[in-house]
Structure 1
């Protein structure tokens, strides 16, 4: 795979891409992103990714680029890099502006699409740590995949410091919201359950696929629900991952559950 990127209306080599120092995405985290899996040369669940992207732009009041142009750019990146497997990272910022918080009128968004090769190994089992960081379930930003991921970054760093490799984030009310970069599912009495968006869960693309297939139901969860579950699984667009401990306590495992989810998301 070559290394050709889409940047503001044209295909460029990586070395040719220069982000303006006044870009609000760089300075303020003012923007959104999507990470999309490429499989057999096609973007998995592309309409769902675009729907979430444009919903986020509406919430952030960022002028949306034409959808057809974004789709064309994504396909151009796949074609020029001769991609069959891997992923695309789409980043869209509000654009450039003067110093200060309030964006100027008539700002032009920045669009960057970067290809990545496929991972060579499956993600390791998750050793969960309950983070001190909280998701604000009352904020509309909890529903947007913004460029400001500091709470998630700090949660994952905290998990590593405490001997884990993944974090569980609770919401302000103390209920389970999600993991640092994935939605969380538990299996109870053979049924897969996941926290609702109203509890602070990001509306993940893989999550939405499973909900529409009626393989998963939304249910408010607490930390006490995890140790007694038949399985705990983390999902996002790139992976399905079993959780094996939480805060040092062993979790029950049911490998067929993760296999069933992988099969459903690959269909």
Structure 2
């Protein structure tokens, strides 16, 4: 795999040292990031991703990232990467800081990288034995403090899956390690509300918007409507599951906890709609 990496204004090799040892993103995870899919050499929904990057930074107490700089870096990286780019990542950290959690205001570190690495048309998931804390100080923020997702995804990979689905602390369905989740049942497609602690996914939002535009029954659930045991319905074939993300797009679930499950018809229809819209609207 070849990754094109840009750090603070210069290209560096994949294995070339580029960050200082006391970068606060490295020492304590004090940073934010966005991952985008790449469509025909362009970062998909870049404007929405940059807006969420700014929201995450504000939630951490970081200064607003320099959007002009980041847009220029994205253009340079994608031009350099060429046709190999399928995934784009933008990372902004607090820059040099103390060894502890306290922060010293200074120049932020900006990293933009592009690499191959798409996703297949379907997903296999497992139920994670851990929960998402919907009352966390960083709930709903896309931060570089990602260790719990690394652990949960490794748990899924060990069981032949590509995503782990988590509940929150009150037993509601929440999200995956890097994806939002929709449940298809009763003739409609429903996703957990943001109050569950899930990330406000870009693909999640576009699925809701584009589905509604063409009259498909897709909506956000009311608080408490989707409990984690809805996955039992999926297991029994009474409901279906769809996961969404910026690189996977919309992928119907075909396996839950190692057992095959049927993808839903509405889920498949939304996946087709999204693929068509994505080709026409690169920055919706």
The residue number in structure 2 matching 1:196 is 193
Relative distance call for 1:182 and 1:256 in structure 2 (3 A) is same
The residue number in structure 2 matching 1:253 is 263
Answer whether contact 1:22 1:98 (CA < 8 A) is retained: yes
SS at match of 2:138: helix
Deviations 1:136-195 (A, max 9, x none): 112241211111112222222333455654311000101110112111111123311100
- Mapped to 1, the partners of 2:93 and 2:120 lie a distance apart of 31
Q: 1:90: Cα distance to partner?
A: 1.1
- Mapped to 1, the partners of 2:123 and 2:33 lie a distance apart of 26
Answer whether contact 2:33 2:92 (CA < 8 A) is retained: yes
The residue number in structure 1 matching 2:115 is 116
SS at match of 2:263: coil
The residue number in structure 1 matching 2:274 is 264
SS at match of 1:82: helix
What TM-score does the superposition give when structure 1 sets the normalisation length? 0.88
- Mapped to 2, the partners of 1:2 and 1:58 lie a distance apart of 32
Out of 196, 216, 225, the position equivalent to 2:230 is: 225
What TM-score does the superposition give when structure 2 sets the normalisation length? 0.83
1:243 aligns with 2:253: yes
Q: Report matched runs for 1:42-121 at 5 Å.
A: 42-83=42-83, 85-104=85-104, 106-119=105-118
Aligned length: 264
Relative distance call for 1:193 and 1:204 in structure 2 (3 A) is same
Q: 1:114: Cα distance to partner?
A: 0.9
Deviation larger for 40-49 or 150-159: 150-159
Q: 1:260: Cα distance to partner?
A: 2.9
Q: 1:9: Cα distance to partner?
A: 2.2
SS at match of 2:56: helix
Gaps of 5+ in 1: none
Deviation larger for 225-234 or 179-188: 225-234
Relative distance call for 1:257 and 1:4 in structure 2 (3 A) is closer
